[in-house]
Amino acid sequence: MRKPAESSVPLTDVIAQRWSPRALDETREVSWDQLRALLEAARWAPSFGNTQPARFLAGRRGDATFRQILGTLTERNQAWAHRAGALLIGIMVSRNEKGEIPYAEYGLGMAAQNLVLQAVAEGLVAHQMAGFDAEAVRERFAVPDDAIPRVAIAVGHAGDPAVLEVDKLIERERAPRKRLPLGEFAYTGEWGTPAF
Ligand SMILES: Cc1cc2nc3c(=O)[nH]c(=O)nc-3n(C[C@H](O)[C@H](O)[C@H](O)COP(=O)(O)O)c2cc1C
């Protein structure tokens, strides 16, 4: 299923086509080559002073890393994310030799968005999740204290909403995507005056 962004002007394809499905096709795999492309895209994200605070853990369905990551997700996320072809954890390194890294979370966010958009370019979908146990990730993967697991990401192939089985979940999957109107989002002159 596709749920392209409804925009007042045409957007570049990967942005228009990106969305966060939960219905994933478990008969299809995500290859190491595809994962490499996603992580290369993330590696080339901008960051404050090129401090590069983002790190990732990545596993493919069937391997130990995937199983370990899946086990850290909330039950609600596990219920659909087990069909992903790959699971990742985005980690923010908070300190370097100069002290605290400014804008570290912003840097991880930029890297994650690069990863997600590259997934769309590869014909895949990516769904980010806050619903996971960061401390469990720290323990299972021996993540050092100054590195903070911030987001889990399911990557896979969009599937039939019917795989979600529960009517309410199928409805939510099919529901239109919503955003603030542009007039409440971009201002000019002063706060609250729509730019468009
Ligand atoms: C930081 C972050 C955390 C999120 N956490 C979850 C989550 O735990 N479970 C989930 O199903 N979706 C999660 N989402 C997905 C959002 O709900 C989704 O991006 C939002 O509703 C907009 O929909 P769209 O991505 O399809 O445009 C998360 C997204 C982000 C960016």
Atom of ligand 1 at shortest distance to CA of 112? 31
**DSSP code string of 92-136:** EE-EETTEEPTTHHHHHHHHHHHHHHHHHHTT-EEEEES-B-HHH
For 174-185, the pLDDT digits (tens) are 999 999 999 999
Q: What are the CB-based long-range contacts (under 8 Å, 24+) for 62-66?
A: none
In a domain, 77, yes or no: yes
In a domain, 99, yes or no: yes
pLDDT of residue 78: 98
Atom of ligand 1 at shortest distance to CA of 151? 1
Domain at 141, CATH number: 3.40.109.10
- If residue 67 lies in a helix (H) or strand (E), which one and from where to where? helix 64-72
- Domains of the chain: total: 1
For 78-112, the pLDDT digits (tens) are 999 999 999 999 999 999 999 999 999 999 999 99
- CA 113 centroid distance within chain: 7
- Indicate the DSSP class of residue 177: P
111 vs 113: CA distance, rounded Å: 5
pLDDT of residue 35: 98
Going by CA atoms, what residue is nearest to atom 30 of ligand 1?
Answer: 128
In a domain, 164, yes or no: no
In a domain, 141, yes or no: yes
109 vs 156: CA distance, rounded Å: 20
Q: Do the beta carbons of residue 80 and residue 160 sit within 8 Å?
A: no
129 vs 195: CA distance, rounded Å: 32
Range of the domain at 56: 31-159
In a domain, 39, yes or no: yes
In a domain, 133, yes or no: yes
In a domain, 190, yes or no: no
Average pLDDT over residues 4-18: 97
Percent of the chain with pLDDT over 70: 100
In a domain, 13, yes or no: no
Tokens of residue 126, six digits:
């990516």
Atom of ligand 1 at shortest distance to CA of 150? 1
65 vs 59: CA distance, rounded Å: 5
Q: What confidence category does residue 44 fall into, taking pLDDT thresholds of 50, 70 and 90?
A: very high
- If residue 95 lies in a helix (H) or strand (E), which one and from where to where? strand 95-96
- Indicate the DSSP class of residue 175: S
129 lines ligand 1 (CB under 6 A): yes
